[in-house]
Amino acid sequence: MKRVVQMVLPLLIVFFIIQILIQYNSSVSAAAYKLGSKGDMVSKIETKLKSLGYFKGTPDNYFGSDTKEAVIKFQKARGLKVDGVVGSATLNALGISTSNNTASRGNKIQRSDVSLLGRIINGEGRGEPYIGQVAIGAVIVNRTRDPRFPKTIAGVIYQPGAFTAIADGQINAKLEPMPQKAANDALNGWDPSGGAIYYYNPAKTTNKWIWSRPIIKKIGKHVFCK
């Protein structure tokens, strides 16, 4: 009997551990955003819906009736369960990642990447609206996916001649909280730039080549382009 208990007990322990993990994963996947929800993720959802033409308002971090209406339209168009609630399936369809540990390329994000991205956003986009700062970070993340650019955040940022903040030392300016937060949002998959790989300030740029790039959108003082 004692031998049977010794054989069965480890199996029972493994079984209970698996059950706990299953319950944990279920609770994570069950996280959803709905009428009354607030926070940065709601703003990401609204911004993405707006870029797709479903949301007509201004992203404001609050999941109101206009947000729900936009979600329902998106869910109907994509063949998703139509309930006006943004769960994991709708987030995936929107292309919004909830992971804090990986970039969309599957590369492990290091703490130094977040800090460096925050500093270049701080140097390039201080005084710009928050969504514009996230867009600057997104451009850098987008470049790591483009074969014409280095594959790492540091490689893109320090590519010779790529950013004014490197040349004039603004990357070393006092880091404000907002650019650091914007870096996290960009690394987590929020791309207000619409997939841009370049941006510039029309009031300060005389480069004829950059003026020739197809414009995607304008945020604050910056133009974002392909």
For a pLDDT cut of 90, what percent of the chain falls above it? 40
3-state helix vs strand vs coil in the chain, percent to 5: 55, 10, 40
Q: Is the pLDDT of residue 167 over 70?
A: yes
How many H helices and E strands in the chain?
A: 10, 3
Q: Are residues 64 and 116 in the same domain?
A: no
Which pLDDT belongs to residue 79?
76
Which pLDDT belongs to residue 62?
86
Q: Are residues 150 and 219 in the same domain?
A: yes
Q: What is the CATH number of the domain that holds 175?
A: 1.10.10.2520
How does pLDDT run across 175-190, given as a tens digit for each residue? 888 999 999 889 888 8
Cross-strand pairs, 215: 225
Q: Are residues 121 and 205 in the same domain?
A: yes
Q: Is the pLDDT of residue 198 over 90?
A: yes
Burial class (CB in 10 A: 0-12, 13-18, 19+), 176: middle
Burial class (CB in 10 A: 0-12, 13-18, 19+), 3: exposed
CA dist., res. 180 & res. 109, Å (int): 14
The answer to whether residue 210 is domain-embedded is yes
Q: Are residues 87 and 116 in the same domain?
A: no
Q: What is the CATH number of the domain that holds 50?
A: 1.10.101.10
The answer to whether residue 10 is domain-embedded is no
Sequence-separated (6 or more) residues with CB below 8 Å from residue 56: 50, 66, 70
Q: Are residues 109 and 221 in the same domain?
A: yes
CA atoms within 13 A on the CB side of 154: 6
Whole-angstrom distance between the N-terminal and C-terminal Cα of the chain? 72
Q: Are residues 65 and 154 in the same domain?
A: no
How does pLDDT run across 77-124, given as a tens digit for each residue? 877 889 999 988 888 778 776 654 334 444 555 666 888 999 999 999
Which pLDDT belongs to residue 90?
85
Q: How confident is the model at residue 46 (pLDDT cuts 50, 70, 90)?
A: confident
Phi-psi region of 77 (alpha: psi -120 to 50; beta: other; left: phi over 0): alpha
Q: Which domain holds residue 136?
A: 105-225
User: How many distinct structural domains can be found in the chain?
Assistant: 2
Q: Are residues 114 and 77 in the same domain?
A: no
Q: Are residues 111 and 204 in the same domain?
A: yes
Q: Please name the residue that has the structure tokens 């729900």.
A: 68
> 83, 134 in Cβ contact below 8 A?
no
Which pLDDT belongs to residue 223?
96
Q: Is the pLDDT of residue 125 over 90?
A: yes
Q: Is the pLDDT of residue 169 over 80?
A: yes
Q: Is the pLDDT of residue 222 over 70?
A: yes
CA atoms within 13 A on the CB side of 112: 5
Q: Is the pLDDT of residue 39 over 90?
A: no
The answer to whether residue 5 is domain-embedded is no
Query: Token pair of 26, please?
Result: 């279920």
Which pLDDT belongs to residue 75?
87
The answer to whether residue 120 is domain-embedded is yes
Q: Which residue has the higher pLDDT, 23 or 144?
A: 144
Which of 67, 94, 121 corresponds to the end of one domain? 94
